[in-house]
A = this chain, B = another copy of it.
Amino acid sequence: MQNFEFYNPTRIVFGKDTIAKLAEHVPAEARTLILYGGSSAEKNGTLAEVRAALAGRVFQEFGGIEPNPTYETLMRAVETIRRDKLDFLLAVGGGSVIDGTKFVAAAVAYTGDAWDILTTHGACVGAALPFGTVLTLPATGSEMNSSSVITRSRTREKLAFGSPHVFPRFSVLDPTKTYSLPLRQVANGVVDSFVHIMEQYLTYPAGGMAQDRFAEGLLQSLIEIGPKVIAQPDNYDLRANFMWIATLALNGLIGAGVPQDWATHMIGHEVTARYDIDHARTLAVVLPAMLRIRKEAKRGKLLQYAQRVWNLHDGSEDERIEAAIARTEAFFESLDIPTRLSAYTIGADAIDDLIAQLDAHGMTALGEREEIGLDVSRRVLEAAL
């Protein structure tokens, strides 16, 4: 096991009717900005519940944060907060709204050019406004971590930052708030959390027994409930398990003390930035190709994955590995998520541009051993066609 620090001070308030408890968690004297995305938070009643819970408190609202939240939109929220001297943020939405709120929280407290926060990957963040979240879409884990991904529309750049200053103070997770989600978003969430786990698990054996067992348990659970959570939108137990699993998939726990990959995410981000394809859908395309191209480096863990997650015991090592990757693809496809670039009519002629983007963003030594250069990324994209 590698040395590690684990620290996660976010309070999770989980279950039915928990939005009503918001006033216990938002400081009484706070001047709050409620940030949300499109119209769904209004339509499904979540915003109304939030307003009711904060009745009598000082708050304003800021809607319109996009999927893949943009710097341009978020800087308007920063202006509002400065102008009206607001001092607490409440994100109501999914990972995009929460990621955006993290950026806003850091940007309000930063005196330089706020884009520095992204280009330094958070190193320049010395403080942030406190904030909580009300999660409506299980997927990214942003509700219980200190990372964020922001897009700059003008330059089509999609960059990540992290800082211990942007852990949510609390996150309210009410599984019933997910009942009205579009099934496409639920399927995306299943794939997103699945790949989050794989980025922290499918590297090389590092002797983290609890980390491996936890990761395998989360993967097994997602495989068990994935199709059901889509087929039965108002099944509380399914949605509750999905919601908690998606949070646990990326709250620092399963990645503590073990190597992490994240190359699939980095390549996927470029596909989203260039073609505006849903984040999770880019991961479903890149991951199987990544596992095939990096089979030798990942052999030990691929065999463990085949055995413990997919219960594959027969055949040669290579057969078991290929079967496990094929099962992974079939799982994604069973959720109506394609696993090939061609499904999005992206062909071989697109690869040069994507590689140039990776190069421009310094993504030239990716993966758990930093051995994925642009040449390997090219082979991954070719294998994903």
Binding site for B on A (CB under 8 A): 1-18, 207-210, 212-214, 216-218, 220-221, 224-225, 237, 240-241, 244-245, 248, 253, 256-257
8 Å CB contact of A210 from B15, B17, B217: B217
Given A209-B245, A221-B210, A241-B208, check contact A8 B5 (CB 8 Å).
Answer: no
Other A-B pairs, 13, CB within 8 Å; known A1-B14, A213-B213? A2-B15, A3-B15, A5-B13, A6-B12, A7-B10, A8-B8, A12-B256, A15-B257, A207-B237, A209-B224, A210-B217, A213-B214, A217-B217
Find the B residue at minimum CB distance from A240. Answer: B1
Q: Which residues of B contact A7 (CB under 8 A)?
A: 9-12
Q: Which residues of B contact A248 (CB under 8 A)?
A: 210
Query: Would you call B207 and A213 a contact (CB within 8 A)?
Result: no
18 contacts between A and B (CB under 8 A): A3-B18, A4-B15, A5-B11, A6-B11, A6-B12, A7-B9, A7-B12, A12-B256, A14-B256, A15-B257, A207-B237, A209-B241, A210-B248, A213-B214, A213-B216, A213-B218, A214-B214, A244-B257
Q: Which residues of B contact A14 (CB under 8 A)?
A: 1, 3-6, 256-257
Q: Which residues of B contact A6 (CB under 8 A)?
A: 11-12, 14
Query: Would you call B209 and A213 a contact (CB within 8 A)?
Result: no
Find the B residue at minimum CB distance from A243. Answer: B1
Query: Would you call A241 and B1 a contact (CB within 8 A)?
Result: yes
Find the B residue at minimum CB distance from A254. Answer: B214
Find the B residue at minimum CB distance from A215. Answer: B217
Q: Which residues of B contact A208 (CB under 8 A)?
A: 241, 244
Query: Would you call A207 and B11 a contact (CB within 8 A)?
Result: no
The residue in A5, A210, A217, A224 that gathers the most chain B C-beta atoms within 10 A of its C-beta is A210
Query: Would you call B15 and A237 a contact (CB within 8 A)?
Result: no
Query: Would you call B207 and A217 a contact (CB within 8 A)?
Result: no
**Distance from A357 Cβ to chain B, minimum over Cβ atoms (Å):** 36
8 Å CB contact of A3 from B5, B16, B220, B253: B16
A18 to B4 Cα, complex, angstroms:
10
Find the B residue at minimum CB distance from A9. Answer: B9
Cβ-closest 5 pairs across A and B: A213-B217, A3-B15, A9-B9, A7-B11, A6-B12
Q: Which residues of B contact A216 (CB under 8 A)?
A: 213, 217
Find the B residue at minimum CB distance from A244. Answer: B210
Q: Which residues of B contact A253 (CB under 8 A)?
A: 253
Query: Would you call B241 and A210 a contact (CB within 8 A)?
Result: yes
